[in-house]
Structure formats: structure tokens, C-alpha cells
């Protein structure tokens, strides 16, 4: 919208504000998407580690380590 208003009021020189806003929005979207991707990968790694958990139990008088599943 700012791009259209700038061009209407000041010709092509007026589009600087609109283009600047557009570029800022693109940068914000790309950074946010990158952060979300990294967080999702970290979450998946934590889930994988949680699935690999073990515990120590005593069975028939012997201490053994078993998978929590």
C-alpha cells in the first residue's frame, strides 16, 4: 500500500519507502522461518533422546538396565 501511495504522490522516487518496507518484511519472514526450522530440529533431537531413555531395575535380586519402553 505504501508503495502505491508513494508512487502516486511522488512518482518513482516515492517508491523508496514502500520498497524499504517490503524488503524489511521479507527479511523478517526469512529470519523467522530460519529460527522456526532450527527450533523444530532441536525439538526433534530432544524427542529422540527422550525415546532412548533407560532405567535401572532389580529383578530376581539382580540390578539390570532396561529401556523405558
Q: Please, are residues 2 and 21 in contact by the beta-carbon 8 Å criterion?
A: yes
Q: Please, are residues 7 and 15 in contact by the beta-carbon 8 Å criterion?
A: yes
What the block records as the C-alpha cell of 11 is 512518482
What the block records as the C-alpha cell of 36 is 522456526
- pLDDT by 10s per residue, the chain, length 69: 666 776 777 777 767 777 888 899 999 999 999 999 999 999 999 888 877 778 888 888 888 888 777
CA–CA separation, 21 and 27 (whole Å): 10
- Partnered with residue 59 across adjacent β-strands are 62
Q: For the chain, give the number of residues.
A: 69
pTM for the predicted model, two decimal places: 0.58
- Predicted local confidence at residue 67, as pLDDT: 79
Amino acid at each position: 500500500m505504501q508503495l502505491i501511495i508513494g508512487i502516486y504522490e511522488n512518482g518513482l522516487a516515492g517508491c523508496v519507502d514502500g520498497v524499504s518496507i517490503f524488503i524489511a518484511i521479507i527479511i523478517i519472514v526469512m529470519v523467522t522461518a530460519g529460527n522456526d526450522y532450527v527450533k523444530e530440529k532441536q525439538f526433534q533431537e530432544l524427542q529422540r533422546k527422550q525415546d532412548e531413555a533407560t532405567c535401572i531395575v532389580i529383578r530376581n535380586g539382580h540390578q539390570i538396565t532396561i529401556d523405558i519402553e
